[in-house]
Amino acid sequence: MNRKKIALLAVGAVAVALFFFFDLGRFLTLEALKANRQALLDYYASHRLLTVAGFMALYIVQTALSLPGAAILSLAAGAVFGSIMGTVYANIAATIGATLAFLVTRYLLRDAVLARFGAKLEGINRELESRGFNYLLFLRLVPVFPFFLINLAAGLTRLPLSTFFLGTMIGIIPGGFVYVNAGASLATIDSLAGIASPRVLGSFALLGLFALVPVLYAKWKNGRTVKEK
């Protein structure tokens, strides 16, 4: 491994270490978000562009380094920016962060990740290489595997970067909207587990419908291939 790669890994490792050393996770809790929502709204009213840029940068770093707090950041997007624009900002930031994690895994951490998660990732790798976009979309739409684990698994395959980026951006829209939409009604949320307002339940129903699309398509395609043979 050359010096440039070692330097990049060192920067990432220091960032993760500082996050836990200073217990920055305490700011990424539902209680902290509720306590600071009005201050965030006031700051956003005076510094719109800076607030959006700062939020997206924070979300990108959190996702790229696989740090905790994604759910709270999505809630914050809804609480500050509203359901629609909050979803847009969170989606773009999460996609960029996931893509960075994908690239880091592919070019810097391949050997280490294979040694640590190789057995667990074998099935995902096989499906990603054979089905590509359709399977990635399925994984993003249905939260069967942790978000960060999909980034790692995809980085170990020959999946094209453009396919990963597009599949991630499209696939996380419904799930992201669930939390951003809930954040728009922040006062009614008592816990992350209790995010179940009628609007949110409707979003989950939409998530299920979206998830069926790639599955049904794959079954139809496979069935057609068998018949032709």
- Alpha-carbon distances of 200 from 24, 70, 83, 89, 185, rounded to whole Å: 28, 17, 11, 19, 10
Calpha distance 66→75 (Å, rounded):
18
Q: Helix, strand, coil: what percent of the chain each, to 5?
A: 85, 0, 15
User: In the prediction, which pLDDT does 180 show?
Assistant: 92
User: In the prediction, which pLDDT does 143 show?
Assistant: 65
CA atoms within 13 Å, Cβ hemisphere of 60: 12
Q: Which of 86, 69, 92 is nearest to 184 (CA)?
A: 86
Q: Which of 154, 162, 69 is nearest to 113 (CA)?
A: 154
User: In the prediction, which pLDDT does 224 show?
Assistant: 60
Domain ranges of the chain: 3-228
User: In the prediction, which pLDDT does 61 show?
Assistant: 96
User: In the prediction, which pLDDT does 127 show?
Assistant: 66
Length of the chain: 229
CB atoms under 10 Å from CB of 123, counted, come to 11
**Could you state, in chain order, the average pLDDT of each consecutive group of 10 residues for the chain (229 residues)?**
78 90 91 95 97 97 94 95 96 97 86 70 68 78 79 84 92 87 83 63 59 64 60
User: In the prediction, which pLDDT does 218 show?
Assistant: 63
Q: Which of 137, 88, 145 is nearest to 121 (CA)?
A: 145
